[in-house]
Every structure is written in structure tokens, then in C-alpha cells.
Amino acid sequence: MCQRGVGAIVHGPRGTGKTYAAAACVNMAVSRGRRAVMGTATEIANAVFSSRDKNAEMGRICGCDLLVLDDYGAQRATDYMREQVFEIVDACYRYRTPMIVTTNLTVRQMAQADPRVFERLFERCERIEASGANRRLS
């Protein structure tokens, strides 16, 4: 999928292994000599927008071979954070950086949360539904 520039939206209820699966993809990519960045939307937004050289940090993220945006939709829904997340997704979209997004939101809820983010991810990502029991409770 990295070679094809394709990513994934991994959606489903809590504890169904979305972060675990995304981390496994990061491990696989890194073991093959690729560069990957993984974090929550808040962590990645903070890394970019609180850095001294925002352009350089954004370039580092867009220039990686795989970006994992973990727990999309759990970030604080302020206009400021929405704009930051959009800027990151849009930059990666333009650079064709493969993205894996994990989320508790349904595809419909993602579309409602931010249509601009959703459309870019929808175009570039396969949808994978995580289902089953909450592994933390079973």
C-alpha cells in the first residue's frame, strides 16, 4: 500500500485492536527501512505547530513513508485544532504520503466531523472495519 500511495481508515469500537494493527504496520515499514511517524492527531499537531520551524517539521511528516494518525476524532474539537489537523492531512494528501487513520467514529461521523479532512482521506484510504469484543475487557 505504501508503494501505491494508499492508506487506510481503520474504524471500529474501542479495544478492537486498531492502534495495535497500525503499530504493526509501522513496525513492518520501519523494519523494511522506511520512515514512519505515529501519534494522535493532538500529538502530531503539537509537534508541528509548537516547533520553531513549522515548515521543516511539516516537511518531515509529509516526507515520511507512512503517517499514522491514531484516535482521529478524539482530539479536542476546537476550531484551532480542526484547522491544524486539516493542514496536516491536506499536506500529506498533496505529497501523497500514505496515511493510516484509526478512529472510533463511523465513516458517516467522520464525514460530518470535517468534510474536508474526510474527502481527502476517503480518496486515498481503503476502509477497514475493526470489530469484535473489546480486548481490554475480555
User: Which stretches of the chain bind Mg ion, using CB under 5 A?
Assistant: 19
Binding-site member from 11, 16, 68, 82 for ligand ATP (CB under 6 A):
16
Report if residue 136 touches ligand ATP, rule: CB under 6 A.
yes
Residues 98-127 that bind ligand ATP (CB under 6 A): 102, 104
Query: What's the grid cell of residue 38?
Result: 505515529
Q: Which is nearer to ligand ATP, 19 or 42 (CB)?
A: 19
Rounded to whole angstroms, the Cα distance separating 52 from 125 reads 31
Q: What is the size of the binding site for ligand ATP (CB under 6 A)?
A: 13
3-state secondary structure of 10: strand
Rounded to whole angstroms, the Cα distance separating 129 from 108 reads 13
Cα→Cα distances 56→44, 48, 53, 62, Å: 14, 9, 5, 10
Q: Which is nearer to ligand ATP, 19 or 46 (CB)?
A: 19
Q: Site residues (CB under 6 A) for ligand ATP? A: 14-20, 71, 102, 104, 130, 135-136
